[in-house]
Amino acid sequence: MTVYDPPAEEARSISVGALLDDPALELDARLVAGASGLGRQVKHRRIQKSGLALVGHLHGLVPSRIQILGETEISYVESLDKERQADAAQHMFSLGLACLIITRGIEPPKAFVEEAERSGTPLILCSERSSSAITAIHTLLDERLAPRTRIHGVLVDVFEVGVLLLGKSGIGKSECALELVMRGHRIVADDVVECDYRPPGMIFGEANDMLRHHMEVRGLGILDIKELFGVTAIRERKRIDLVVQLELWNPEGGYDRLGLESHSREILGVPVREVVLPVRPGRNMSSIIEIAARHELLRQAGHDSAREFIERIEQDPALGATAIRPAAQYESSIPPPVAGRRR
DSSP conformation letters of 13-40: -EEHHHHHH-TT--S-EEEEE-GGGTTP
Which domains can be identified in the chain, with CATH numbers? 14-144 (3.40.1390.20), 148-300 (3.40.50.300)
Does residue 200 carry a pLDDT above 70?
yes
Amino acid at 76: Y
Average pLDDT over residues 230-251: 94
Burial class (CB in 10 A: 0-12, 13-18, 19+), 238: buried
How many Å from the N-terminal Cα to the C-terminal Cα in the chain?
A: 37
pLDDT tops 60 at residue 250: yes
Quote the pLDDT of residue 59.
82
Q: Are 33 and 118 in contact (CB under 8 A)?
A: no
In the chain, where do the E strands start and end? 14-15, 29-33, 41-42, 48-49, 67-69, 100-102, 123-126, 148-158, 161-166, 186-198, 202-207, 214-217, 221-224, 237-239, 242-248, 263-267, 270-279
Q: Report the pLDDT value the prediction gives residue 312, as an integer from 0 to 100.
A: 78
171 contacts 248 by C-beta, under 8 angstroms: yes
Residue type, 295: H
Catalytic amino acids? 152, 173, 191, 257
330 pLDDT above the threshold of 50: no
- CA torsion through residues 82, 88, 94, 98, sign: negative
3 state SS of 163? strand
Average pLDDT, rounded, for the chain: 87
Residues 130-176: tens digit of each pLDDT: 999 999 999 999 888 988 999 999 999 999 999 999 999 989 999 99
Q: What are phi and psi of 33, to 5 degrees?
A: -160, 165
Calculate mean pLDDT across residues 70-79.
92
Over pLDDT 90: what percentage of the chain? 65
- Nearest Cα to Cα of residue 138 among 207, 46, 214: 46
User: How many other C-beta atoms can be found within 10 angstroms of the C-beta atom of residue 155?
Assistant: 28
Comparing C-alpha atoms, which of 83, 52, 84 is closest to residue 67? 52
Q: What confidence score (pLDDT) does residue 7 get?
A: 40
- Whether the per-residue pLDDT at 291 is higher than 60: the answer is yes
pLDDT for 302 beyond 90: no
